[in-house]
Structure formats: C-alpha cells, structure tokens
A = this chain, B = another copy of it.
Amino acid sequence: MNDERLLLAHGGGGRLSRELLRDVFLPRFRSGILARLEDAAVLEAPGERLAFTTDSYVVHPLFFPGGDIGRLAVFGTINDLAVMGAVPRYLSCGFILEEGFERAVLERILDSMRGAATEADVEVVTGDTKVVERGKADGLFLNTAGIGAVPRGVELGADRIRPGDKVLLSGGLGEHGLAVLTQREGLKFRSEIRSDCAPIHRLCADLLRASAPGGIRFFRDPTRGGLAATLNEAAAGRPWGIRIEEEAIPLREDVRGLCEILGLDPLHIANEGKLVAVAAPGEADRILQAMRANPLGARGAIIGEVVEKPAGRVVLRSAVGGLRILDLPAGEPLPRIC
C-alpha cells in the first residue's frame, strides 16, 4: 500500500475505505452524528420548515487566491440555504477522487472544509467517498448538500417582487471568477485579486432582522453567470423588469482593469460571497444600513430598481444615461469556476 496516494480500494467499502475514513475524515469533523458512521445521519428537525439544496464543485484549479474547492463547497451550499432565508445547519459531503490523488492534498482540503464549517457554524453529518481510475476524473470533484431551518414568517421569492422595489448588492463583483482565472492561467498582476468566497448567512439574517415583515422580497447570491444571470432568472416571465444603474455597481479598480484587458464583463462573472437583495421601497435604506454594518456588506449599495417596463427583462443604464438590455449569458465565460 502506498500511503501517499489514493488507491481504487480506498473507495471500495473495505478495509482501506475504513482506514481512510478513520484516519483522514473523522478526526477533522468532530461530529457525534458523523462518528456513528451509520448509513444516514439521524437529526432532530431544526424547524417546521426546511431548506434543502445541493451543488457539485468541479473548480479548476483546486486552490486559488482566497479559497479552495473545500471552502467553496461548504460556503456555496450554505449560501444557497441562506438566500432562502434559512439558518444553515447540516451538510453532507460526497467526494469523487481520481486514483493517485495525493493524500496530503486531500487532507489540506479537508482541513479547509473543517475550518469553513466551524466558521459558519454548520455540522458535517454524513458523507461518501468514491475513487475512479486514473484519467477518469480530474483530481477531485466534491458535492455538498445542506439542510437549513427556515424561520417562521420568512417568505422570500421572486414572485413577491413589485415595481418600485429596490435592488441592493452587498459588494464588488467578479472577484471569485477572476481569482480562479488568474490562478488557472498563471497570470500575474500587481494587485492580486482574491476570491470573495464567504458564507453570507449571517449577512442575510442581519438584513431580515433589520427589515419590517415582508420588507425583503428576495435574496440571491450571484454565482455562475454572475449578476446578469441572477437578475435575468428573477425577472424571466414576470410582469415587471429590473433597471440597474451601471455607476452604482461596486467594483474594485483592479477587477475593472483586468476585465477590460481580458474582454470580460464583470456582470457575467461568478461571485461566491455576494448577496443581491430586493427590498420594499420604504425599507431599502434601513436594509442598506444593516448591510453596510456587516463586514461582508461594507461596500453594499442600492444598484437599481424594479420597473414596470420592459417586463421580464433587465436593463442597464450607463453612466452617460444610455439604456441597454443586460442579457442572460449563453454560458459562463469561465468554465469550471465553481
């Protein structure tokens, strides 16, 4: 047995699988539920209503400025729960490893996941590991599913949005996508752009607390496809549209510059720690204040509003006043960004 690299048998359900679990996985996730090693975790239901979500992560490379696939997988699933207004509680992890993957790299990723789970106060309660032959995967793919508790009275959804509502964004766009891209391509820049990879559930909770009941209509985190995809998905088929003020969108100078050089639109690039919120007009200022009081929303801004026309579309008003349609991109300009 080669201790340094994973073998097919580490995914086989036998002795090597058990050793991997005991020596590598369990010491990192100190969960009494996980440690029972049952086929499923048995949990007290965290509330009357649950949020349930899943995402697979295939980001390449596995490590990038500001994060790695493990942090991304923990926070990404937390954020999908958070934008439904839920308090994230439990995570599952499914690993698909390529034969020959370095055990030390797996350990580094697991350490990162443990740190992320602790930071966000969620518990990894169940998991699974498979190993496929060399050349049949790309190192490591990771799936997380998550369960959260939706507090009483929290009702969010694009169907609650009305003309006149305000659109808020919690900070600068494009940082995650560019961080992965520069790492992948080996690009060097004076100002290193780091992924914004972060858990936004506490930011969401702060905003919900600051708002009158129903004052927040909708949350979403603008990941794959960027802000453009998020807003277009919200507006598609609705009897209202969204108008965004280009000048109001927070953007780091180095992100703006790099996007110009590379010919990328920051509105199409994935983020991993940003929040889009749509708020009732009378609540927007108070919610913005709460957003800015949280470090993850310090650069938050009202970036636009919900308009009656053009219904179902997103338009962007440029600095000089011109309007253009902001379309759903055909695909992510940067594949394997998450």
Residue A37 interfacial (CB < 8 Å):
yes
How far is B247's CA from A88's CA once the two chains are assembled, in angstroms?
50
**In the complex, chain B residues whose CB is within 8 Å of the CB of A42:** 49-51, 84, 86, 150
From B8, B18, B39, B268, A83 is in contact (CB under 8 Å) with B39
Q: Which of A8, A42, A53, A157: most chain B CB closer than 10 A? A: A42
Residue A298 interfacial (CB < 8 Å):
no
Q: Which of A14, A16, A53: most chain B CB closer than 10 A? A: A14
Interface size class of A (residues with CB under 8 A): 35 or more
Find out whether the CB atom of A55 lies under 8 angstroms from the CB atom of B94: yes
Q: A83-B40, A84-B42 are known contacts. Are A330 and B147 too (CB-CB below 8 A)? A: no
Find out whether the CB atom of B54 lies under 8 angstroms from the CB atom of A45: no
Residue of B nearest to A146 (CB): B40
From B38, B96, B270, B330, A16 is in contact (CB under 8 Å) with B330
Q: A94-B54, A136-B138, A329-B14 are known contacts. Are A38 and B84 too (CB-CB below 8 A)? A: yes
Stretch from A101-109, A185-193, A219-227, A302-310 forming part of the interface with B = A219-227
Residue of B nearest to A222 (CB): B13
Residue A52 interfacial (CB < 8 Å):
yes
**In the complex, chain B residues whose CB is within 8 Å of the CB of A132:** 58, 138, 141, 335-336
Residue A7 interfacial (CB < 8 Å):
yes
**In the complex, chain B residues whose CB is within 8 Å of the CB of A49:** 42-45
Stretch from A121-129, A206-214, A256-264, A287-295 forming part of the interface with B = A121-129
**In the complex, chain B residues whose CB is within 8 Å of the CB of A54:** 92-94, 126-128, 143, 145
Residue A321 interfacial (CB < 8 Å):
no
Find out whether the CB atom of B53 lies under 8 angstroms from the CB atom of A39: yes
Q: A233-B18, A329-B14 are known contacts. Are A43 and B52 too (CB-CB below 8 A)? A: yes
Find out whether the CB atom of A15 lies under 8 angstroms from the CB atom of B96: no
From B14, B57, B229, B331, A9 is in contact (CB under 8 Å) with B331
**In the complex, chain B residues whose CB is within 8 Å of the CB of A15:** 327-331
Residue of B nearest to A220 (CB): B39
Residue A273 interfacial (CB < 8 Å):
no
Q: A50-B42, A53-B126, A147-B147 are known contacts. Are A225 and B328 too (CB-CB below 8 A)? A: no
Residue A183 interfacial (CB < 8 Å):
no
Q: A148-B40, A331-B17, A336-B132 are known contacts. Are A94 and B224 too (CB-CB below 8 A)? A: no
Q: Which 8 A-B pairs have the closest CB atoms?
A: A9-B331, A13-B224, A12-B331, A12-B332, A145-B145, A13-B225, A40-B53, A54-B92
Task: List 11 additional contacts besides A12-B331, A54-B145; criterion CB under 8 Å.
Answer: A12-B335, A13-B332, A14-B330, A18-B328, A42-B49, A42-B51, A43-B52, A54-B127, A55-B128, A58-B96, A136-B138
